[in-house]
Chain A
Protein backbone atom coordinates (compact mmCIF):
# COMPACT_ATOMS: atom_id res chain seq x y z
CA UNK A 1 0.00 0.00 0.00
CA UNK A 2 2.84 2.33 0.87
CA UNK A 3 4.49 1.58 -2.46
CA UNK A 4 1.21 2.05 -4.30
CA UNK A 5 1.02 5.64 -3.01
CA UNK A 6 4.73 6.23 -3.58
CA UNK A 7 4.68 4.88 -7.13
CA UNK A 8 1.43 6.69 -7.92
CA UNK A 9 3.02 9.94 -6.83
CA UNK A 10 6.12 9.28 -8.98
CA UNK A 11 3.79 8.78 -11.94
CA UNK A 12 1.85 11.95 -11.12
CA UNK A 13 5.10 13.90 -11.07
CA UNK A 14 5.96 12.39 -14.42
CA UNK A 15 2.75 13.80 -15.91
CA UNK A 16 3.35 17.18 -14.34
CA UNK A 17 6.91 17.16 -15.74
CA UNK A 18 5.36 16.61 -19.17
CA UNK A 19 3.31 19.76 -18.76
CA UNK A 20 6.37 21.73 -17.68
CA UNK A 21 8.12 20.53 -20.85
CA UNK A 22 5.25 21.51 -23.12
CA UNK A 23 4.16 24.96 -21.98
CA UNK A 24 2.72 25.79 -25.42
CA UNK A 25 0.49 22.76 -25.41
CA UNK A 26 -0.92 23.37 -21.96
CA UNK A 27 -1.66 26.99 -22.85
CA UNK A 28 -3.50 25.81 -25.97
CA UNK A 29 -5.44 23.19 -23.99
CA UNK A 30 -6.45 25.80 -21.44
CA UNK A 31 -7.32 28.46 -23.99
CA UNK A 32 -9.36 26.32 -26.36
CA UNK A 33 -12.51 26.29 -24.17
CA UNK A 34 -12.03 30.02 -23.62
CA UNK A 35 -12.17 30.41 -27.39
CA UNK A 36 -15.40 28.41 -27.46
CA UNK A 37 -16.88 30.68 -24.80
CA UNK A 38 -16.06 33.72 -26.89
CA UNK A 39 -17.47 32.08 -30.02
CA UNK A 40 -20.73 30.91 -28.49
CA UNK A 41 -21.12 33.79 -26.05
CA UNK A 42 -20.47 36.62 -28.47
CA UNK A 43 -20.51 35.45 -32.10
CA UNK A 44 -23.52 33.14 -31.95
CA UNK A 45 -24.92 34.09 -28.55
CA UNK A 46 -26.75 37.19 -29.79
CA UNK A 47 -29.40 35.00 -31.37
CA UNK A 48 -29.77 32.64 -28.43
CA UNK A 49 -32.52 32.81 -25.89
CA UNK A 50 -32.80 30.82 -22.69
CA UNK A 51 -35.98 28.82 -22.14
CA UNK A 52 -37.57 30.20 -19.01
CA UNK A 53 -35.73 33.50 -19.41
CA UNK A 54 -32.34 34.77 -18.28
CA UNK A 55 -29.05 35.97 -19.70
CA UNK A 56 -27.53 33.57 -22.29
CA UNK A 57 -23.97 33.98 -21.06
CA UNK A 58 -25.09 33.17 -17.53
CA UNK A 59 -26.67 30.05 -19.01
CA UNK A 60 -23.73 29.20 -21.27
CA UNK A 61 -20.84 29.31 -18.82
CA UNK A 62 -21.78 26.40 -16.52
CA UNK A 63 -22.39 24.37 -19.69
CA UNK A 64 -18.91 25.27 -20.88
CA UNK A 65 -17.41 24.25 -17.53
CA UNK A 66 -19.02 20.83 -17.84
CA UNK A 67 -17.95 20.55 -21.48
CA UNK A 68 -14.34 21.32 -20.54
CA UNK A 69 -14.47 18.39 -18.11
CA UNK A 70 -15.84 16.14 -20.86
CA UNK A 71 -13.04 17.14 -23.25
CA UNK A 72 -10.63 15.76 -20.64
CA UNK A 73 -11.35 12.31 -22.17
CA UNK A 74 -9.10 13.33 -25.05
CA UNK A 75 -6.12 14.18 -22.82
CA UNK A 76 -6.42 10.96 -20.86
CA UNK A 77 -6.91 8.87 -23.98
CA UNK A 78 -3.90 10.35 -25.77
CA UNK A 79 -1.58 9.80 -22.80
CA UNK A 80 -2.61 6.20 -22.12
CA UNK A 81 -2.67 5.23 -25.81
CA UNK A 82 0.82 6.73 -26.33
CA UNK A 83 2.32 4.77 -23.42
CA UNK A 84 0.63 1.53 -24.45
CA UNK A 85 1.55 1.84 -28.13
CA UNK A 86 5.20 2.72 -27.52
CA UNK A 87 5.92 -0.09 -25.08
CA UNK A 88 6.29 2.28 -22.12
CA UNK A 89 3.39 0.48 -20.45
CA UNK A 90 5.26 -2.81 -20.94
CA UNK A 91 8.34 -1.35 -19.30
CA UNK A 92 6.27 -0.20 -16.33
CA UNK A 93 4.74 -3.67 -16.10
CA UNK A 94 8.21 -5.24 -16.03
CA UNK A 95 9.31 -3.06 -13.09
CA UNK A 96 8.80 -4.08 -9.45
CA UNK A 97 6.36 -1.18 -9.05
CA UNK A 98 2.75 -1.18 -7.90
CA UNK A 99 0.63 -2.06 -10.97
CA UNK A 100 -2.02 0.47 -9.92
CA UNK A 101 0.45 3.37 -10.06
CA UNK A 102 0.18 3.98 -13.77
CA UNK A 103 -3.54 4.61 -13.41
CA UNK A 104 -3.53 6.45 -10.09
CA UNK A 105 -0.70 8.69 -11.28
CA UNK A 106 -2.66 9.45 -14.42
CA UNK A 107 -5.85 10.10 -12.45
CA UNK A 108 -4.27 12.51 -9.97
CA UNK A 109 -2.37 14.39 -12.67
CA UNK A 110 -5.46 14.69 -14.88
CA UNK A 111 -7.62 15.89 -12.01
CA UNK A 112 -4.99 18.47 -11.06
CA UNK A 113 -4.71 19.82 -14.60
CA UNK A 114 -8.48 19.77 -15.02
CA UNK A 115 -8.85 21.72 -11.77
CA UNK A 116 -6.41 24.24 -13.20
CA UNK A 117 -8.39 24.32 -16.46
CA UNK A 118 -11.58 24.88 -14.51
CA UNK A 119 -9.95 27.75 -12.64
CA UNK A 120 -8.99 29.39 -15.94
CA UNK A 121 -12.56 28.90 -17.20
CA UNK A 122 -14.07 30.40 -14.05
CA UNK A 123 -11.76 33.39 -14.54
CA UNK A 124 -12.85 33.61 -18.17
CA UNK A 125 -16.50 33.42 -17.06
CA UNK A 126 -16.06 36.25 -14.62
CA UNK A 127 -14.34 38.29 -17.33
CA UNK A 128 -17.28 37.94 -19.74
CA UNK A 129 -19.90 38.82 -17.17
CA UNK A 130 -20.87 35.45 -15.67
CA UNK A 131 -21.48 35.54 -11.89
CA UNK A 132 -22.56 33.08 -9.26
CA UNK A 133 -25.49 34.21 -7.17
CA UNK A 134 -25.40 31.57 -4.48
CA UNK A 135 -23.50 30.80 -1.28
CA UNK A 136 -19.81 29.86 -1.40
CA UNK A 137 -20.79 26.37 -0.22
CA UNK A 138 -23.20 25.91 -3.15
CA UNK A 139 -20.58 27.21 -5.61
CA UNK A 140 -17.95 24.85 -4.21
CA UNK A 141 -20.41 21.96 -4.49
CA UNK A 142 -20.86 22.88 -8.15
CA UNK A 143 -17.07 22.78 -8.66
CA UNK A 144 -16.94 19.40 -6.92
CA UNK A 145 -19.68 18.06 -9.23
CA UNK A 146 -17.72 19.23 -12.26
CA UNK A 147 -14.58 17.41 -11.05
CA UNK A 148 -16.73 14.36 -10.29
CA UNK A 149 -17.72 14.31 -13.98
CA UNK A 150 -14.05 14.65 -14.93
CA UNK A 151 -13.22 11.70 -12.67
CA UNK A 152 -15.86 9.58 -14.41
CA UNK A 153 -14.75 10.38 -17.97
CA UNK A 154 -11.15 9.71 -16.92
CA UNK A 155 -12.04 6.03 -16.90
CA UNK A 156 -13.57 6.23 -20.36
CA UNK A 157 -10.28 7.74 -21.55
CA UNK A 158 -8.23 5.04 -19.82
CA UNK A 159 -10.41 2.27 -21.23
CA UNK A 160 -10.31 3.57 -24.79
CA UNK A 161 -6.57 4.26 -24.52
CA UNK A 162 -5.80 0.71 -23.40
CA UNK A 163 -8.19 -0.69 -25.97
CA UNK A 164 -6.66 1.11 -28.94
CA UNK A 165 -3.01 1.56 -27.95
CA UNK A 166 -2.78 4.00 -30.83
CA UNK A 167 -2.65 7.74 -30.11
CA UNK A 168 -3.49 8.49 -33.74
CA UNK A 169 -7.04 7.40 -33.02
CA UNK A 170 -7.46 10.61 -31.03
CA UNK A 171 -9.38 12.01 -33.99
CA UNK A 172 -11.85 9.13 -33.72
CA UNK A 173 -12.30 9.87 -30.01
CA UNK A 174 -12.94 13.52 -30.83
CA UNK A 175 -15.58 12.49 -33.36
CA UNK A 176 -17.28 10.54 -30.54
CA UNK A 177 -16.90 13.25 -27.91
CA UNK A 178 -18.06 16.27 -29.87
CA UNK A 179 -21.61 15.12 -30.64
CA UNK A 180 -21.97 14.18 -26.96
CA UNK A 181 -20.81 17.67 -26.09
CA UNK A 182 -23.20 19.45 -28.44
CA UNK A 183 -26.23 17.17 -28.00
CA UNK A 184 -26.63 18.34 -24.43
CA UNK A 185 -27.90 21.29 -22.48
CA UNK A 186 -24.36 22.74 -22.43
CA UNK A 187 -24.98 25.27 -25.20
CA UNK A 188 -28.76 25.39 -25.68
CA UNK A 189 -31.89 24.35 -23.76
CA UNK A 190 -33.21 20.95 -24.84
CA UNK A 191 -36.72 22.55 -24.72
CA UNK A 192 -35.76 24.65 -27.74
CA UNK A 193 -34.64 21.60 -29.78
CA UNK A 194 -36.81 19.28 -31.92
CA UNK A 195 -38.50 16.81 -29.54
CA UNK A 196 -36.33 13.77 -30.24
CA UNK A 197 -33.08 15.77 -30.03
CA UNK A 198 -34.33 17.43 -26.88
CA UNK A 199 -35.02 14.04 -25.28
CA UNK A 200 -31.58 12.79 -26.27
CA UNK A 201 -29.95 15.93 -24.91
CA UNK A 202 -31.96 15.78 -21.73
CA UNK A 203 -30.65 12.29 -20.96
CA UNK A 204 -27.04 13.20 -21.75
CA UNK A 205 -24.84 12.86 -18.62
CA UNK A 206 -23.24 16.16 -19.57
CA UNK A 207 -26.66 17.87 -19.27
CA UNK A 208 -27.10 16.47 -15.78
CA UNK A 209 -23.87 18.09 -14.59
CA UNK A 210 -24.46 21.31 -16.53
CA UNK A 211 -28.01 21.75 -15.15
CA UNK A 212 -27.06 20.87 -11.58
CA UNK A 213 -24.17 23.34 -11.55
CA UNK A 214 -26.45 26.02 -13.03
CA UNK A 215 -28.81 25.59 -10.10
CA UNK A 216 -25.96 25.60 -7.59
CA UNK A 217 -24.41 28.74 -9.10
CA UNK A 218 -27.83 30.39 -9.22
CA UNK A 219 -27.76 30.69 -13.01
CA UNK A 220 -30.78 30.24 -15.32
CA UNK A 221 -31.78 26.80 -16.63
CA UNK A 222 -30.84 24.92 -13.46
CA UNK A 223 -31.84 21.35 -12.64
CA UNK A 224 -31.67 18.98 -9.71
CA UNK A 225 -28.39 17.80 -8.22
CA UNK A 226 -28.87 14.05 -7.97
CA UNK A 227 -28.54 13.16 -11.67
CA UNK A 228 -25.13 14.91 -11.62
CA UNK A 229 -24.15 12.59 -8.78
CA UNK A 230 -25.60 9.42 -10.29
CA UNK A 231 -24.52 9.71 -13.92
CA UNK A 232 -20.77 9.94 -13.20
CA UNK A 233 -21.14 7.18 -10.59
CA UNK A 234 -22.77 4.95 -13.21
CA UNK A 235 -20.06 5.73 -15.80
CA UNK A 236 -17.36 4.98 -13.23
CA UNK A 237 -19.06 1.73 -12.25
CA UNK A 238 -19.04 0.63 -15.89
CA UNK A 239 -15.65 1.85 -17.04
CA UNK A 240 -13.48 0.98 -14.02
CA UNK A 241 -14.12 -2.78 -14.41
CA UNK A 242 -13.77 -2.47 -18.19
CA UNK A 243 -10.41 -0.71 -17.75
CA UNK A 244 -9.16 -3.31 -15.27
CA UNK A 245 -10.22 -6.09 -17.61
CA UNK A 246 -8.47 -4.40 -20.53
CA UNK A 247 -5.31 -3.94 -18.44
CA UNK A 248 -5.35 -7.64 -17.57
CA UNK A 249 -5.82 -8.51 -21.22
CA UNK A 250 -2.38 -7.02 -21.86
CA UNK A 251 -1.08 -10.23 -20.21
CA UNK A 252 -2.75 -12.41 -22.79
Chain B
Protein backbone atom coordinates (compact mmCIF):
# COMPACT_ATOMS: atom_id res chain seq x y z
CA UNK B 1 0.00 0.00 0.00
CA UNK B 2 3.00 2.23 0.67
CA UNK B 3 6.19 1.67 -1.23
CA UNK B 4 9.24 3.85 -0.64
CA UNK B 5 12.47 3.38 -2.58
CA UNK B 6 15.68 5.22 -1.83
CA UNK B 7 13.96 8.43 -0.76
CA UNK B 8 16.30 11.35 -0.14
CA UNK B 9 15.70 14.79 1.29
CA UNK B 10 18.30 17.36 2.26
CA UNK B 11 17.76 20.60 4.09
CA UNK B 12 20.36 23.33 4.20
CA UNK B 13 22.19 22.09 7.24
CA UNK B 14 21.36 18.41 7.47
CA UNK B 15 20.23 15.30 5.64
CA UNK B 16 16.71 14.45 6.77
CA UNK B 17 16.29 11.28 4.68
CA UNK B 18 19.29 9.40 3.40
CA UNK B 19 18.09 6.76 0.94
CA UNK B 20 15.24 5.34 2.98
CA UNK B 21 13.30 2.22 1.90
CA UNK B 22 9.97 1.16 3.35
CA UNK B 23 7.14 -1.17 2.41
CA UNK B 24 3.82 -1.20 4.21
CA UNK B 25 1.30 -3.96 3.49
CA UNK B 26 -2.39 -3.12 3.00
CA UNK B 27 -4.58 -3.29 6.10
CA UNK B 28 -1.75 -3.14 8.61
CA UNK B 29 -0.51 -0.61 11.13
CA UNK B 30 3.12 0.22 10.54
CA UNK B 31 4.98 2.04 13.28
CA UNK B 32 7.86 4.43 12.58
CA UNK B 33 10.07 4.76 15.63
CA UNK B 34 13.03 7.00 15.95
CA UNK B 35 14.60 9.74 18.03
CA UNK B 36 13.76 13.40 17.41
CA UNK B 37 15.15 14.57 14.08
CA UNK B 38 15.47 11.03 12.70
CA UNK B 39 13.36 11.93 9.65
CA UNK B 40 9.97 10.46 10.62
CA UNK B 41 7.96 13.62 10.06
CA UNK B 42 9.79 14.48 6.85
CA UNK B 43 8.91 11.03 5.49
CA UNK B 44 5.24 11.44 6.40
CA UNK B 45 5.15 14.91 4.82
CA UNK B 46 6.64 13.52 1.61
CA UNK B 47 4.14 10.66 1.51
CA UNK B 48 1.25 13.07 2.19
CA UNK B 49 2.46 15.21 -0.82
CA UNK B 50 3.27 18.20 1.41
CA UNK B 51 7.00 18.11 0.69
CA UNK B 52 8.82 17.12 -2.48
CA UNK B 53 11.65 14.61 -2.11
CA UNK B 54 15.07 15.36 -3.65
CA UNK B 55 15.40 11.82 -5.01
CA UNK B 56 13.97 8.32 -4.97
CA UNK B 57 10.40 7.21 -5.56
CA UNK B 58 7.39 6.75 -3.33
CA UNK B 59 3.96 5.40 -4.15
CA UNK B 60 0.92 5.55 -1.90
CA UNK B 61 -2.14 3.46 -2.79
CA UNK B 62 -0.49 2.84 -6.16
CA UNK B 63 0.07 6.51 -7.06
CA UNK B 64 3.41 8.28 -7.30
CA UNK B 65 3.54 11.11 -4.76
CA UNK B 66 5.46 13.45 -7.06
CA UNK B 67 3.79 12.74 -10.39
CA UNK B 68 0.19 12.33 -9.20
CA UNK B 69 -0.17 14.21 -5.92
CA UNK B 70 -3.87 14.80 -6.62
CA UNK B 71 -4.61 11.08 -6.80
CA UNK B 72 -2.61 10.46 -3.63
CA UNK B 73 -4.55 13.19 -1.81
CA UNK B 74 -7.83 11.54 -2.76
CA UNK B 75 -6.65 8.30 -1.12
CA UNK B 76 -5.09 9.52 2.12
CA UNK B 77 -5.91 11.12 5.42
CA UNK B 78 -3.35 13.10 7.41
CA UNK B 79 -3.35 13.68 11.14
CA UNK B 80 -0.32 15.76 11.97
CA UNK B 81 1.37 16.78 15.18
CA UNK B 82 -0.89 19.77 15.69
CA UNK B 83 -4.63 19.31 15.83
CA UNK B 84 -5.22 20.91 12.44
CA UNK B 85 -8.81 21.93 12.89
CA UNK B 86 -10.36 25.35 12.64
CA UNK B 87 -10.71 26.29 16.28
CA UNK B 88 -13.33 28.94 15.73
CA UNK B 89 -15.75 26.63 13.95
CA UNK B 90 -17.81 23.98 15.69
CA UNK B 91 -16.83 20.32 15.39
CA UNK B 92 -19.65 19.75 12.92
CA UNK B 93 -18.80 22.85 10.84
CA UNK B 94 -15.20 21.63 10.63
CA UNK B 95 -16.19 18.21 9.37
CA UNK B 96 -18.73 19.57 6.88
CA UNK B 97 -16.13 22.04 5.56
CA UNK B 98 -13.47 19.36 5.11
CA UNK B 99 -16.12 17.15 3.47
CA UNK B 100 -17.07 19.90 1.03
CA UNK B 101 -13.38 20.50 0.27
CA UNK B 102 -13.04 16.77 -0.40
CA UNK B 103 -15.79 17.30 -2.97
CA UNK B 104 -18.67 15.60 -1.24
CA UNK B 105 -22.03 17.21 -1.97
CA UNK B 106 -23.63 19.33 0.76
CA UNK B 107 -26.01 16.57 1.89
CA UNK B 108 -23.32 13.89 1.75
CA UNK B 109 -20.87 16.08 3.68
CA UNK B 110 -23.46 16.65 6.42
CA UNK B 111 -24.28 12.95 6.60
CA UNK B 112 -20.61 12.03 6.81
CA UNK B 113 -20.00 14.66 9.51
CA UNK B 114 -22.81 13.19 11.63
CA UNK B 115 -21.49 9.66 11.15
CA UNK B 116 -17.99 10.67 12.19
CA UNK B 117 -19.18 12.67 15.22
CA UNK B 118 -21.13 9.62 16.32
CA UNK B 119 -18.24 7.30 15.75
CA UNK B 120 -15.72 9.40 17.63
CA UNK B 121 -18.11 10.09 20.48
CA UNK B 122 -18.46 13.79 19.70
CA UNK B 123 -22.16 13.99 18.85
CA UNK B 124 -23.05 15.75 22.12
CA UNK B 125 -20.43 18.45 21.59
CA UNK B 126 -20.85 18.72 17.82
CA UNK B 127 -22.07 22.31 17.96
CA UNK B 128 -19.34 23.53 20.30
CA UNK B 129 -16.32 25.36 18.88
CA UNK B 130 -13.09 23.36 19.00
CA UNK B 131 -11.49 25.95 21.32
CA UNK B 132 -13.65 24.57 24.12
CA UNK B 133 -12.47 20.97 23.56
CA UNK B 134 -10.07 19.02 25.74
CA UNK B 135 -6.83 17.79 24.15
CA UNK B 136 -8.22 14.28 23.64
CA UNK B 137 -11.45 15.57 22.10
CA UNK B 138 -9.54 17.85 19.74
CA UNK B 139 -7.36 14.95 18.60
CA UNK B 140 -10.44 12.81 18.02
CA UNK B 141 -11.94 15.61 15.95
CA UNK B 142 -8.64 15.81 14.10
CA UNK B 143 -8.77 12.06 13.44
CA UNK B 144 -12.36 12.37 12.25
CA UNK B 145 -11.27 15.14 9.86
CA UNK B 146 -8.56 12.84 8.51
CA UNK B 147 -11.20 10.16 7.87
CA UNK B 148 -13.70 12.10 5.78
CA UNK B 149 -13.27 10.04 2.62
CA UNK B 150 -12.54 6.73 4.43
CA UNK B 151 -8.91 6.92 3.34
CA UNK B 152 -7.06 3.88 2.07
CA UNK B 153 -4.00 5.13 3.91
CA UNK B 154 -4.00 7.19 7.07
CA UNK B 155 -0.87 8.99 8.25
CA UNK B 156 -0.70 9.56 11.99
CA UNK B 157 2.23 11.76 12.96
CA UNK B 158 2.69 11.49 16.72
CA UNK B 159 -1.06 11.39 17.30
CA UNK B 160 -0.91 11.31 21.11
CA UNK B 161 1.96 13.69 21.86
CA UNK B 162 0.93 15.92 24.71
CA UNK B 163 -2.15 13.93 25.69
CA UNK B 164 -2.86 12.56 29.15
CA UNK B 165 -3.24 8.74 29.53
CA UNK B 166 -7.01 9.00 29.15
CA UNK B 167 -6.69 10.99 25.94
CA UNK B 168 -4.14 8.51 24.58
CA UNK B 169 -6.44 5.57 25.30
CA UNK B 170 -9.25 7.38 23.44
CA UNK B 171 -7.06 7.90 20.39
CA UNK B 172 -5.78 4.33 20.44
CA UNK B 173 -9.33 2.97 20.53
CA UNK B 174 -10.23 5.19 17.57
CA UNK B 175 -7.21 3.99 15.58
CA UNK B 176 -8.08 0.34 16.24
CA UNK B 177 -11.59 0.87 14.89
CA UNK B 178 -10.17 2.39 11.69
CA UNK B 179 -7.94 -0.60 11.13
CA UNK B 180 -10.90 -2.93 11.53
CA UNK B 181 -12.43 -1.12 8.54
CA UNK B 182 -9.39 -1.97 6.44
CA UNK B 183 -7.51 1.34 6.56
CA UNK B 184 -3.73 1.06 6.33
CA UNK B 185 -2.05 3.19 8.98
CA UNK B 186 1.45 4.64 9.06
CA UNK B 187 2.08 5.78 12.62
CA UNK B 188 5.04 7.78 13.84
CA UNK B 189 5.58 7.95 17.54
CA UNK B 190 8.15 8.53 20.22
CA UNK B 191 6.20 6.39 22.66
CA UNK B 192 7.43 2.85 22.35
CA UNK B 193 4.45 1.44 24.21
CA UNK B 194 2.23 3.12 21.64
CA UNK B 195 3.99 1.32 18.80
CA UNK B 196 3.89 -1.88 20.85
CA UNK B 197 0.12 -1.50 21.37
CA UNK B 198 -0.88 -0.55 17.86
CA UNK B 199 1.67 -1.61 15.27
CA UNK B 200 1.83 -4.91 13.39
CA UNK B 201 5.31 -4.03 12.18
CA UNK B 202 7.82 -1.44 13.24
CA UNK B 203 10.62 0.30 11.38
CA UNK B 204 13.23 1.99 13.52
CA UNK B 205 14.63 5.09 11.80
CA UNK B 206 17.78 6.95 12.65
CA UNK B 207 19.72 9.54 10.65
CA UNK B 208 17.26 9.24 7.77
CA UNK B 209 17.56 5.47 7.26
CA UNK B 210 15.75 2.38 8.46
CA UNK B 211 18.12 0.66 10.90
CA UNK B 212 15.80 -2.16 11.96
CA UNK B 213 12.50 -3.57 10.80
CA UNK B 214 10.21 -6.29 12.11
CA UNK B 215 7.31 -7.20 14.35
CA UNK B 216 7.42 -5.71 17.85
CA UNK B 217 8.15 -9.18 19.27
CA UNK B 218 11.02 -9.78 16.86
CA UNK B 219 12.54 -6.38 17.61
CA UNK B 220 12.41 -6.96 21.32
CA UNK B 221 14.36 -10.20 20.82
CA UNK B 222 14.45 -13.31 22.95
CA UNK B 223 13.63 -13.62 26.66
CA UNK B 224 16.33 -13.10 29.22
CA UNK B 225 16.88 -15.24 32.30
CA UNK B 226 18.67 -13.68 35.23
CA UNK B 227 20.05 -15.70 38.12
CA UNK B 228 21.54 -14.28 41.32
CA UNK B 229 23.91 -16.79 42.85
CA UNK B 230 26.94 -17.10 45.12
CA UNK B 231 28.55 -19.44 42.55
CA UNK B 232 28.24 -17.53 39.30
CA UNK B 233 30.90 -19.44 37.37
CA UNK B 234 29.36 -22.82 38.11
CA UNK B 235 25.91 -21.48 37.20
CA UNK B 236 27.25 -19.97 33.98
CA UNK B 237 28.71 -23.30 32.95
CA UNK B 238 25.37 -25.08 33.55
CA UNK B 239 23.36 -22.39 31.76
CA UNK B 240 25.66 -22.08 28.72
CA UNK B 241 23.69 -24.80 26.96
CA UNK B 242 20.67 -22.47 26.69
CA UNK B 243 22.36 -19.61 24.88
CA UNK B 244 25.02 -16.89 25.22
CA UNK B 245 25.79 -16.20 28.87
CA UNK B 246 27.16 -13.06 30.56
CA UNK B 247 28.40 -12.88 34.11
CA UNK B 248 28.39 -9.64 36.09
CA UNK B 249 29.44 -10.14 39.71
CA UNK B 250 26.91 -12.51 41.25
CA UNK B 251 24.47 -11.97 38.38
CA UNK B 252 24.33 -14.44 35.49
CA UNK B 253 22.26 -13.51 32.45
CA UNK B 254 21.40 -15.80 29.56
CA UNK B 255 19.31 -15.34 26.45
CA UNK B 256 16.73 -18.12 26.23
CA UNK B 257 14.15 -19.38 23.76
CA UNK B 258 12.29 -21.94 25.85
CA UNK B 259 11.13 -20.20 29.01
CA UNK B 260 9.85 -23.33 30.77
CA UNK B 261 12.96 -25.40 30.20
CA UNK B 262 15.17 -22.46 31.22
CA UNK B 263 13.25 -21.93 34.47
CA UNK B 264 13.41 -25.65 35.29
CA UNK B 265 17.18 -25.68 34.75
CA UNK B 266 17.72 -22.52 36.80
CA UNK B 267 15.61 -23.91 39.65
CA UNK B 268 17.81 -27.01 39.80
CA UNK B 269 20.98 -24.92 40.35
CA UNK B 270 22.41 -24.89 43.90
CA UNK B 271 22.97 -21.66 45.92
CA UNK B 272 20.56 -19.48 43.89
CA UNK B 273 18.99 -16.43 45.62
CA UNK B 274 16.73 -15.19 42.91
CA UNK B 275 15.54 -16.08 39.42
CA UNK B 276 13.83 -13.68 37.03
CA UNK B 277 12.81 -14.21 33.46
CA UNK B 278 11.47 -11.44 31.27
CA UNK B 279 11.16 -10.18 27.77
CA UNK B 280 13.13 -7.01 27.04
CA UNK B 281 10.87 -3.99 26.59
CA UNK B 282 10.77 -2.21 23.29
CA UNK B 283 12.53 0.67 25.05
CA UNK B 284 15.55 -1.53 25.69
CA UNK B 285 15.57 -2.82 22.13
CA UNK B 286 15.20 0.72 20.81
CA UNK B 287 17.99 2.17 22.95
CA UNK B 288 20.26 -0.65 21.90
CA UNK B 289 19.49 -0.02 18.22
CA UNK B 290 19.90 3.75 18.16
CA UNK B 291 23.03 3.72 20.30
CA UNK B 292 24.64 1.01 18.13
Contact = CB atoms under 8 A, between A and B. Distances in A.
B73 A94 contact: yes
B213 interface: no
Specify the main secondary structure of chain A where it touches its partner: helix
B76 A18 contact: no
Contacts of A195: none
Tell which of B74, B81, B89 has the most Cβ of chain A within 10 Å. Answer: B89
A28 B23 CA distance: 54
Nearest to A88: B84
B129 A97 contact: no
Given A17-B89, A21-B88, A252-B52, A91 B80 contact: yes
A18 B89 contact: yes
Nearest to B77: A94
Contacts of B88: 17-18, 21-22
Interface string B38-74: 0000000100111110000000000000000010011
B257 interface: no
A97 B103 contact: yes
Contacts of B101: 7, 10-11, 92, 95, 97, 101
Given A7-B101, A21-B88, A94 B49 contact: yes
B26 interface: no
A250 interface: yes
A94 B100 contact: no
B106 to A, nearest CB: 10
B223 interface: no
A14 B89 contact: yes
Nearest to B49: A94
A87 interface: yes
B116 to A, nearest CB: 15
Specify the main secondary structure of chain B where it touches its partner: loop
A133 interface: no
Contacts of A95: 73, 98, 101-102
A87 B11 CA distance: 20
Given A21-B129, A88-B84, A94-B48, A10 B100 contact: yes
A245 interface: no
A22 B89 CA distance: 10
A94 B86 contact: no
- For chain B, the bracket of interface size reads 20 to 34
A25 to B, nearest CB: 10
A43 B13 CA distance: 56
B70 A96 contact: yes
Nearest to A248: B52
Contacts of A10: 97, 100-101
Contacts of B81: 87
A251 B102 contact: no
A251 B50 contact: yes
Contacts of B278: none
A10 B73 CA distance: 18
Nearest to B46: A251
Contacts of B103: 3, 6, 96-97
Interface string B158-178: 000000000000000000000
B7 interface: no
Interface in A101-152: 101
Interface in A209-252: 250-252
A91 B145 contact: yes
Interface of A: 3, 6-7, 10-11, 13-14, 17-18, 21-22, 86-88, 90-97, 101, 250-252
10 contacts: A90-B50, A90-B84, A91-B145, A93-B50, A94-B77, A95-B73, A95-B98, A97-B101, A250-B50, A251-B51
Complex A-B, nearest 8 residue pairs according to Cβ-Cβ distance, in ascending order: A87-B84, A87-B82, A91-B84, A94-B78, A97-B101, A96-B74, A96-B73, A10-B100
